[in-house]
Chains A and B, each alone.
Chain A
Amino acid sequence: MDINKHFPRALEDEAIYIIREVAAQFEKPVLLFSGGKDSITLVRLAQKAFYPGKIPFPLLHVDTGHNFPETIEFRDQLVAELGVELIVRTVEDSIKAGRVKEETGKYASRNALQTVTLLDAIEEFKFDACIGGARRDEEKARAKERIFSVRNDFGEWDAKKQRPELFDMLNGKIDIGENVRVFPISNWTELDVWNYIKDENVAIPSIYFAHKRMVFDRDGMIWSDSEFINKTEDEIPYETIVRFRTVGDMTCTAAVSSDADTIDTIIEEILEAEISERGARIDDKRSEAAMEKRKQQGYF
């Protein structure tokens, strides 16, 4: 048995327990859905947690307007299948309302702007718990995140004031205006997620698999060509076979050159890969502590 191709079932039991605690301890929980594999995994876990009942909370998608069209198509199909409520709030509206200002220049992205849209949505719907697909293995600041992570009135994270989490006991008590970010798959690694998707035969957006795409090269990474990215004159698009390892916004997710077109070949590829998952996230490269700073401001 190759351990790297095997999903530890204890992780599913733990995640289901956490999701059930959210439904029991909070009045208005929501599941943050990006269309990426981690949030798709969360939806699957929620479906299992309440079966034969329905998922008792809505999904929230913060739409940057720069999503891959394949992701949106996938999202709408999944929602229809499960009969779960979907709420969409757009960065576009936040820009129009003057809540945020569009970035300019070569690296312009709406990735940082979505924090404001998310915090506004939390306030609008009075969500007291937001379930997210963050994992501790993704990044150094995330390695220190609790499973129930309390955010103040302004959505901010204070690493030094985290509640101790003992055994499996979760304390979700908060004051009005505060909210808790909940991370049921905290203890999963990227491989665990892929092995789970394989075991469970969960559908994922097509862009995770190798496909033909117009791309261009920048800073040693492959960028998907799109009208949302400001290219310089010498950045000339060409067609090649790529896939995406994470699915974020088109302006902050790099493609990898790959011909992995099944879950099995994707798992093989990850096992051999020399670049970590977040290494393909352009937004993390801005500084060594980029993630921690964004988290302090309320980013997921």
Chain B
Amino acid sequence: MDILRIATAGSVDDGKSTLIGRLLFETQSITKDKIEALKAASQRKGLDFVDLSLLTDGLIAEREQGITIDVAHIYFNSPNRKYIIADTPGHFEYTRNMVTGASNASVSIILIDARNGVGEQTRRHFYISSLLEIKNVIVAVNKMDLVNYDQAVFEKIKSDFNEAATQARKPGQNISFIPLSSLYGENIVNVSEKMTWYQGESLLQLLESIPPISLEKENLPFRFPVQQVIRPKKDEFHDFRGYAGKIASGSISKGDMVTALPGNQISKVDKIYKFDTELESASQNESVVITLEDDIDISRGNMLVKVGEQPEFSKQLTAQVCWMDTNPMRAGSAYLLQHGINRVKTKVSQINSSLEISNFEEIANAEALKLNQIGVVSFRLAGPIFADKFEANPSNGAFILIDEFSNNTVGVGFML
């Protein structure tokens, strides 16, 4: 069974929480006691309907202000697969949360209020979806009930979106448009009878038709960051030396020839273990233990790749960076760079350009990269990392930046 991870984004009041509440409700994912609690809470607020948005607005401050502050994770099952929704806030001061929530998603649902049409927020959400190489984008035009389910309104939004999206659009990206009403459940699970002019699928039907991600990633190079070296030193496993890790991309089989980076030692895969089971092969996202035929010196942070499939690595790199901290990044500042599990010290050589995501104003040779800005940045590293270009292999092409004084994660980088 596969898991489909979805990121949802929308402005305040686009009805994102109601949409998610509706999906849960219609897939019978809400238990009776939770529905009772919702009814009671809706009544306390003086509403004459059950407010499904209260299901996901979890924090006290959010309920007081009626907005979403932080990424919430919501789970439901359809008859075919498990879904995980990362529900991210729409207002721009929380852009970092949107990048965070969307970083694991393979589908992005962008909500638009039919009355308001395409706005700056919509452009921003699409830009971030593209930045993260999200292949499937669903533009959900919500609150169609408030515009009398008018086809012209929907078509106008569709063409406005396509126009606004031209620049950020990635090759191979699928963009679908759905008119819906979360409040009344139109086009959520079943195709709406109120919008017969719409020929497409309902939201859930569309989600169900997205192929499992594993099928798309079969041809990527094998990347295995070593998390730990397992040496039990028990009588039974006296000479055992296994490399534990989660396969970042690609696949590996017994007998494959591998190179250990950065030492460039070559050896042959002897065994692949998952707990006490021996596997013939393993692929992306599997946590395994690999043993090699030769005793070579490998430690945490090293990487196993197939011979001839090495990523280029040097002590300099350029990346697109999204800044997430109130203290701006400046040329000359030092940080810890974490690629996968591998950490190295780094210094910012140059901020080549910065983009203010609230108004898309671009500055060349910027002095600083501020909170929620996205820039092209060059770094010098104290040691090598074994990364691919983000566009070519997203699961081995991103890194985070850590401030050594606050210990906070202050930025995320996408290898160029």
Summarize B's interface: helix, strand, loop or mixed: mixed
Known interface pairs A274-B31, A275-B33, A276-B31; A166-B58 also in contact (CB < 8 Å): no
Determine whether the beta carbon of A160 is less than 8 Å from that of B70. Answer: yes
Q: Is A53 an interface residue (CB 8 A)?
A: yes
Please name all residues of chain A whose beta carbon is closer than 8 Å to the beta carbon of B41 when the two chains form the complex.
288
Complex Cα gap A279–B36 (Å)? 11
Give the size category of A's interface with B: 35 or more
B240 at the interface (CB under 8 A from A): yes
Question: Within 8 Å of chain A (Cβ to Cβ): is B194?
Answer: no
Query: Could you tell me if B3 and A162 are in contact, using CB atoms closer than 8 angstroms?
Result: no
Question: How far, in whole Å, are A54 and B230 apart by their CA atoms in the complex?
Answer: 10
Q: Does B134 contact A (CB under 8 A)?
A: no
B234 — which chain A residues lie within 8 A by C-beta? 52
B112 CB to closest chain A CB, in angstroms?
Answer: 25
B73 at interface (Cβ–Cβ under 8 A)?
Answer: yes
Q: Is the CB of B33 within 8 A of A159?
A: no
Task: Enumerate chain B residues within 8 angstroms of A159, measured Cβ to Cβ.
Answer: 59, 61, 69-70
Nearest CB in chain A to that of B276: its residue: A51
**CB contact between A24 and one of B1, B69, B96, B341 (< 8 Å): that residue:** B341
B 336-361 contacts with A by CB, 8 A: 336, 338, 340-341
| Cα separation A10 to B274 with both chains bound (whole Å) | 13
Task: Report if A13-B246 is in contact (Cβ < 8 Å); known contacts: A8-B2, A51-B275.
Answer: yes
**Distance between Cα atoms of A11 and B3 in the complex (Å):** 9
Would B230 and A53 count as touching, CB distance under 8 A? yes
Q: Which of A1-52 contact B (CB under 8 A)?
A: 1, 3-4, 6-8, 10-14, 16-17, 20-21, 23-24, 47-52
Residues of A within 8 A of B286 (CB): 13
From B75, B273, B300, B402, give the contact of A171 (CB < 8 A).
B402
Q: Smallest CB–CB gap between B330 and chain A, Å?
A: 20
Query: Cβ of B56 < 8 Å from any Cβ of A?
Result: yes
> Is B407 a contact partner of A166 (Cβ separation < 8 A)?
no
With both chains docked as a complex, state the minimum distance between the C-beta of B413 and any C-beta of chain A, in angstroms.
10
User: Bound state CA distance, A166 and B97, in angstroms?
Assistant: 9
Q: Is the CB of B32 within 8 A of A6?
A: no
Q: Are A141 and B407 in contact (CB under 8 A)?
A: no
Do A141 and B58 touch across chains, with their CB atoms under 8 A apart? yes
Contact A20 B227 (CB under 8 A): yes
- Cβ A141 vs Cβ B275 within 8 A: no
Q: Can you list, as one digit per residue, whether each of A208-249 has a CB less than 8 Å from chain B (1) or not (0)?
A: 000000000000000000000000000000000000000000
Chain B residue at smallest Cβ distance from A12? B287
Tell whether A156 is near chain B: CB-to-CB under 8 Å: no
Check B138 for interface membership: any CB of A closer than 8 A: no
> Given contacts A16-B287, A17-B246, A144-B59, is CB(A187)–CB(B73) below 8 Å?
yes
- How distant is B373 from chain A, measured CB to nearest CB, in Å? 15
Chain B: minimal CB distance from A29 (Å) = 13
**Which interface residue of A7, A8, A16, A162 has the most chain B CB atoms within 10 A?**
A16
Would you give the 0/1 interface string for B153-164, flagging 1 where the beta carbon is closer than 8 Å to chain A? Answer: 000000000000
**In the complex, what residues of A have CB within 8 A of residue B338's CB?**
169, 171
Q: How far is the CB of B236 from chain A (nearest CB, A)?
A: 7
Of B7-15, B76-84, B171-179, B306-314, which stretch is located at the interface?
A: B76-84
A interface residues, Cβ below 8 angstroms from B? 1, 3-4, 6-8, 10-14, 16-17, 20-21, 23-24, 47-54, 136-137, 140-141, 143-144, 150, 159-160, 162-169, 171, 173-175, 186-187, 189, 191, 273-276, 279, 288-289, 292
Given contacts A24-B341, A140-B56, A168-B340, 13 further A-B contacts (CB under 8 A): A8-B3, A17-B245, A17-B246, A17-B287, A52-B276, A144-B59, A159-B59, A160-B61, A165-B409, A166-B400, A168-B104, A187-B73, A275-B31
21 pairs, A vs B, C-beta closer than 8 Å: A3-B82, A48-B275, A51-B230, A51-B273, A53-B230, A137-B74, A140-B55, A140-B58, A141-B59, A143-B74, A144-B59, A144-B73, A165-B100, A169-B338, A169-B398, A171-B402, A173-B407, A189-B75, A191-B77, A274-B32, A275-B33
Please give me the 10 A-B residue pairs with the lowest Cβ-Cβ distance, nearest first. Answer: A140-B58, A274-B32, A279-B33, A16-B287, A164-B100, A276-B31, A173-B407, A53-B232, A13-B287, A17-B246
